[in-house]
Structure 1
Amino acid sequence: MSNLSRGAWGRWLVVMQLVLLGACSSLPTIVPDLSRKNPRVAVEGAAGPLTAAQSKAVLDRLKAGGKPTSIFDRHLAFEDALPGTPLVTGNQVTLLVDGPNTYKAMLAAIRGARDHINLETYILEDDEIGQQFAAALVAKQRAGVQVNVMYDSVGTLGTKKEFFQQLRDAGIRTLQYNPVNPLTAKAGWDVNERDHRKLLIVDGRTAFLGGINISSVYEAGSFSERSARSGPTGEKLPWRDTHLQIDGPVVADLQRLFTDTWAQQKGDPLPTRNYFPKLAPKGDDVVRAIGSSPKDPYSLIYATLISAIDSAESDILITNAYFVPDPQLMVALKAAVARGVKVTLILPSKTDSKLVFHAGRASYTELLEAGIRIHERKGALLHSKTALIDGVWSTIGSTNIDWRSFLHNLEVNAVILGPAFGQQLRALFDRDLAESNEITLEAWRRRGIGLRVRETLSKAWEYWL
């Protein structure tokens, strides 16, 4: 959900007044100097960095997947050139579509936990789904499994205090990220800084991440029957979202994001557990876990996306819920089209955040004139955040393509390299495409004055959306 998607406008206005007190920052300028010169491709395995011979063997196996070697090598080199966590091999990545499938997998992992459970989320609602998770977490805590829960203060504004008290009463450690009330903040205060991650780690071996919060709005799938819940416009719309389950060595990098954030927020010391077990290979997927924070010099997720777009050779497929591109990203997408790359966007047709929706639509004319194809997902409220480039570079996570995600939020994404997972994500993209309407330049130019005014007014707020 967008940071502006919750509750009534009155509550939103209170938060916005506080947001305007925050200091402004800017998006990084991504230039070649950001990458190391003559990058050396390095892949890390379960036992640490692989030797040159081992890395070559891994890459040879991946390149046997059918995609042109040059495309894969190019993305691998660009990805490795960026600083941060390494590419890690030996993982098994499972694509999860919509809430019911995701919650089933998450709850199964929770119930199977033996040592600890770490949950970090933007929204954790006191509803039927939230209570299911609370019951499962409490049961594990009482069974001797340590449970630690970190939740965002703004994202849980509508959740009753009693909900979290029941967790604490059972012995679960909880931490409210960057409280709205500055008197309760332990690590400095900036209400404009939000924890937008959706991250669950079980026993340090299995991780879940993506766009799905813990809320009953996800109780129905988006490709079958329609949800019984009313959407924000009064229509009965299911939520369309994408998540991942990851098993394997890269989980250690995701675990580190959680423990580091907990420490930075000065939460009570985490009880001693085996948070970083020795991890054996589980599959053949090469994955990079990327976290971003407003305290970083720049968003590594943003830099990675720009780098991947700049290295695209054939096609760029983006599905995103809150699409408000900055000028540099606009230049990158238009430049890709100019060199012959097909760029296709799937964006929402309905939204839970009208300001973000219309601010994003303000870029349609420029994108369409450049030859970028835009489709709007019908029959569902789109909340997914995915990208697939050249069939071999995939990313899924919590990051929207807007200023807030790149400047103000803590986010987490996974980059998956290789054609096998790319084929799965392309199939999902095609399913969404079949449920979407294309927006043509001719039709868009005929839109009414009312829409144009909303776009102009909304775009003025894009920095804070």
Structure 2
Amino acid sequence: MNIEISWTQILIYLYTAVVLAFTVRVLYQQRNTGSAFAWLVILFAFPLLGVFAYLLLGEPRLGSARAKRSDEMNRFYSDFADQYLSDMGWDGTDKISPHYLGIAKVATDSVGLDVTQNNHMKLLSTTDEIVSAMLADIEAARKSCLLAFYIIDPQGKIKEVLNAVIEAAKRGVDCIILADAVGSHAFFKSEWIARLRAEGVEVHAALPVGPLRTLFTRSDLRNHRKLLIVDEKIGYTGSYNLVDPKFFKQNSGVGQWVDVMMRCTGPMVLEMAAVFYADVAVENDQNLTEVQHYLKRYIEDIHEIIPEPSQAQDIVAQVIPSAPSQTERIIYETIISAIYAATEKLVITSPYFVPDEPLLMALTTAAKRGVDVTLIVPAKVDSLMVRYASQAYYPVLLRAGVKIALFEGGLLHAKTMTVDDGYTLFGTVNMDMRSFFLNLEISLAIYDQNMTAEVSTLQQQYLAQSRYISIKKWQKRAKWWGLVENTVRLMSPLL
């Protein structure tokens, strides 16, 4: 019997085999159940598009060369901490409350950066405060000025900052700018790049994208860190991109962005500098060689950077860098651990809130066991998909007793979490899967009652400009809203 197989049948068999192969790969590679389910939905609903999308975005591929450089710099984190921070008496582990020791250990074991003592911090909660402080430190820089930002938007006050960096370079200060290639796309297309480089400022694009690179690396992995480090003695980090909110995204209809930064001095700044240099080094082999050469000189001069006792407050803190190249899901595990450690009060601010099941369970369980849990999010966000996905979780949270406050004073971009009266997590991490598993982020774990009280006071100021959601009013909405939100929620692990 002759069996004729048409080209159509061959294509159908081939098509089926490819979809099944990618289905198997999703099941093997996706550790997060929500992500695996979302990808399976896409593969079966839109097979050809799904296969193409998974090739581009399905797994955090950094490329083999970048991964090797990343491994080399990750070893630097650990060696740096072992040889210099601990030996110089900066280890602050014994000053942490036993209640939080386990949380600190999660981060130390994963990234090798220890808890340090003798740090000083100043909370800056307005754009004017942030920019004024940055300008003063840049203008006083003597040795180095290092900037790493997801977004640099050279408008308004930011022109003053960039001009200050140029003037610092003219004085002989080593100035380096690292900006995300996608987040700062307009910056790299502007005339500022030529001006900065002409005056001796090094400018690097983090995680550049392009059609050829897409074949070897995932194109939506982003460097979301925000860092300014001056003379390796002063460090800034927090939610603030290098933008002037009076000009930035004014057509999005969400109001001005509301941000917060922490100005730090003490040994933790050395860890922040280590994160910066590692990010520059992994971009290409030349950067790696130059950074390694610089770090040898940097370590030889480390005694000059030690904070003077008269200037140091005894704030115990830990720098936690997170990135998809790290095998452990460090910031995610830290957040989950901190939520379960709460006994009285837990307050979170985040512009984007799209949890997975373990995070949702941690929050609802905390509320059910009597913890006063408050989530502060913007009333309006610049992503419609994120807004709908976030709202799909409100009924579950509200029924468990979690308070949800909608901030109406603009797009609240601050990323903070306070636990009881002794622990603060502060930095660049949003409460979503992208920040947890895909972005390069940086957080500060602060084991200090006074600083926790300061951040808590700021959170209360946000609450004063917010309105609480009532579960009764929420349930009175038109039923079709729930259908829309729950449909979008299926894609929440990928947002």
Could you tell me the TM-score, scaled by structure 2's length?
0.76
Q: 1:98 to 1:460 in 2, by over 3 A?
A: farther
CA distance in 2, matches of 1:404, 1:213: 17
Quote the RMSD (CA, aligned, Å): 2.8
Matches within 5 A, 1:441-460: 441-449=471-479, 451-460=481-490
Provide, for residues 323-363 of structure 1, a one-character-per-residue CA deviation record: whole Å limited to 9, x for no partner. 11111101111221222211111111011222212211111
Provide, for residues 260-285 of structure 1, a one-character-per-residue CA deviation record: whole Å limited to 9, x for no partner. 11111125324848645332252111
Match of residue 229, structure 2, among 201, 214, 225: 201
Match of residue 163, structure 1, among 150, 174, 192: 192
Letter in 1 for 2:209: V
In the alignment, what sits opposite 1:74? 99
Q: 1:138 to 1:18 in 2, by over 3 A?
A: farther
Q: 1:95 to 1:18 in 2, by over 3 A?
A: farther
Q: 1:404 to 1:184 in 2, by over 3 A?
A: closer
Aligned length, in residue pairs: 409
Following superposition, the deviation at residue 315 of structure 1 comes to 1.0
DSSP 3-state at the match of 1:298: coil
- 1:323·1:347 contact (CA, 8 Å) conserved in 2? yes
Matches within 5 A, 1:27-426: 48=87, 50=89, 58=95, 72-82=97-107, 83=109, 84=111, 85-159=113-187, 160-181=189-210, 189-217=217-245, 230=250, 232-233=252-253, 237-266=255-284, 268=287, 269-270=290-291, 272=294, 275-276=298-299, 277-278=302-303, 279-280=306-307, 281=309, 282-426=312-456
Q: 1:73 to 1:464 in 2, by over 3 A?
A: same
Following superposition, the deviation at residue 20 of structure 1 comes to 6.6
- 1:99·1:218 contact (CA, 8 Å) conserved in 2? no
Letter in 2 for 1:341: V
Q: 1:133 to 1:51 in 2, by over 3 A?
A: closer
Q: Does residue 69 of structure 2 align to residue 21 of structure 1?
A: no
DSSP 3-state at the match of 2:380: coil
CA distance in 2, matches of 1:191, 1:105: 34
In the alignment, what sits opposite 2:20? none
Following superposition, the deviation at residue 368 of structure 1 comes to 0.7
Q: 1:238 to 1:119 in 2, by over 3 A?
A: same
Q: 1:43 to 1:259 in 2, by over 3 A?
A: closer
- 1:89·1:286 contact (CA, 8 Å) conserved in 2? yes
Following superposition, the deviation at residue 298 of structure 1 comes to 2.7
Moved more, 135-144 or 152-161: 152-161
- 2:351·2:414 contact (CA, 8 Å) conserved in 1? yes
Following superposition, the deviation at residue 89 of structure 1 comes to 0.4
- 1:45·1:88 contact (CA, 8 Å) conserved in 2? no
DSSP 3-state at the match of 1:166: helix
Provide, for residues 384-406 of structure 1, a one-character-per-residue CA deviation record: whole Å limited to 9, x for no partner. 10000011110110100101001
Q: Which has the higher helix share?
A: 2
Where structure 2 has 5 or more consecutive residues not aligned to the other structure, the ranges are 1-51, 62-80
Could you tell me the TM-score, scaled by structure 1's length?
0.81
Following superposition, the deviation at residue 23 of structure 1 comes to 2.8
- Give identity over the alignment, percent: 30
Q: 1:46 to 1:215 in 2, by over 3 A?
A: same
Letter in 2 for 1:170: E
Provide, for residues 269-305 of structure 1, a one-character-per-residue CA deviation record: whole Å limited to 9, x for no partner. 2484864533225211101000001111133111111
Provide, for residues 44-85 of structure 1, a one-character-per-residue CA deviation record: whole Å limited to 9, x for no partner. 996636499x965x46xxxxxxxxxxxx43023432354232
- 1:375·1:436 contact (CA, 8 Å) conserved in 2? yes
CA distance in 2, matches of 1:354, 1:164: 33
CA distance in 2, matches of 1:265, 1:387: 31
CA distance in 1, matches of 2:173, 2:418: 37
- 1:203·1:275 contact (CA, 8 Å) conserved in 2? no
Q: 1:297 to 1:81 in 2, by over 3 A?
A: closer
Provide, for residues 96-127 of structure 1, a one-character-per-residue CA deviation record: whole Å limited to 9, x for no partner. 10321111111111111100111111000121
Q: 1:55 to 1:354 in 2, by over 3 A?
A: closer
Following superposition, the deviation at residue 379 of structure 1 comes to 2.3
CA distance in 2, matches of 1:313, 1:218: 40
CA distance in 1, matches of 2:282, 2:418: 33
Q: 1:184 to 1:327 in 2, by over 3 A?
A: closer
DSSP 3-state at the match of 1:21: helix
